Amino acid sequence: MTRICSVALAFLFSLSLVGTVRADEKIKLGTLAPNGSPWHTLLKEMSQRWTEVSGGKVKLIIYAGGVVGNEGDMVKKTRIGQLQAVAVTTIGLHDISPDSQALDVPMLIDNNELLDYTMEKVQGRFEKSLLDKGYVVLAWSDVGFVRFFSSKRYATLADFTGKSKVFAWEGDPGSIEAWRAMGMHPVVMSSTDIVPSLQTGLIDTVTMSPIYAFSSRIFEKAKFMLDLPWAPLSGATVIRKDAWEKIPADLRPKLLEISREYTKRINAEVRRMDADALATMKKQGLEVVTPVDEPAFRKAAINTWGVIRGKVVPAEAFDEVKRVVEEGKAKLKK
């Protein structure tokens, strides 16, 4: 009898992960955000507000820390109904629409003020490209400016190009080619394999923001950080359009407002805590390495642009973001 009940319960659980969403059912959201990180904490608060405002009709269930796979896996699961929403970086969004990854071009945007200016000008374009693919953007968010974290002390471009083995996202061949264009040696794998691969030496270098390195404890395996902002990493919380439209029309604007309110808080927290995370990691053994030849890194970054334009990011989107960045640099100098 117990065995029959167990089988029945397992069957019912499998049904709960598949199918369409009605207004009185759960919306399942996947994210790589580590448990307890600022992104996860505020997503949980947002979920509570959704439940309260909808009177319990809409419940947002958060699956954090990559428990439902890497970003590519999660996007695939939205297509078959196992998830209805994801909070992912532009790398994950690339599997839906590649336009927004134009924000992450190495050393194109180098400060938050310029990032904010650019995003304000281009987010409408990005949202339309995602909507055309069947996804509604609930909110955009910051992940922070990524830097090189490594298990060995590398201070020059020659160190990285001659010795390092850098993590590269699987499923993104254009980005792999871009790494090679700057002379790096990419090792392709799932993001969920980063920690064991650092432990075994399969990779020794990964790019991520300080706050993510701290939240995920990656810095304990990659104890050297090159003090060079490489690129901003942005992300978005998106929901399938068909799932969104099953929510009562009068609730959607309220839920959207809550999502954007919490994302503003996430962005403020990320920017505030990035410096705090770096200070804490230094106390816990992280060594910050000053780049010996920053101009060489910049030249190498620019070498990747020719690969990224047209292969990672559509040429039209790349050119638009680059134009807005140059416009922003001119205006923000005044």
Using one digit for the tens of pLDDT, what is the confidence trace for 265-322? 888 888 888 888 999 999 999 999 999 999 999 999 999 999 999 999 999 999 999 9
Structure tokens at 230: 């490489």
For β-strands 26-31 and 59-63, DSSP reports them as parallel
For residue 169, the model assigns a pLDDT of: 84
For residue 171, the model assigns a pLDDT of: 73
For residue 20, the model assigns a pLDDT of: 43
Q: Where are the alpha helices (DSSP H) in the chain?
A: 2-16, 38-53, 71-79, 90-93, 112-132, 157-163, 173-181, 194-200, 210-215, 241-244, 252-283, 294-307, 315-333
- Which residue is listed with tokens 């000053």? 290
Which positions of the chain have pLDDT values less than 50? Answer: 1-23
How far apart CA 143 and CA 100 sit, in angstroms, is 14
Whole-structure pTM value: 0.85
- What is the CATH number that goes with domain 21-304? 3.40.190.170
Q: Which helix (H) or strand (E) holds 87?
A: strand 85-89
Instruction: With H, G, I as helix, E, B as strand and everything else as coil, classify residue 229.
Output: coil
Structure tokens at 298: 């910049």
Handedness of CA 127, 274, 70, 240 (dihedral sign): negative
The 8-class DSSP code of residue 33 comes to P
CA angle 116, 119, 121 (to 5 degrees): 115
Burial class (CB in 10 A: 0-12, 13-18, 19+), 70: buried
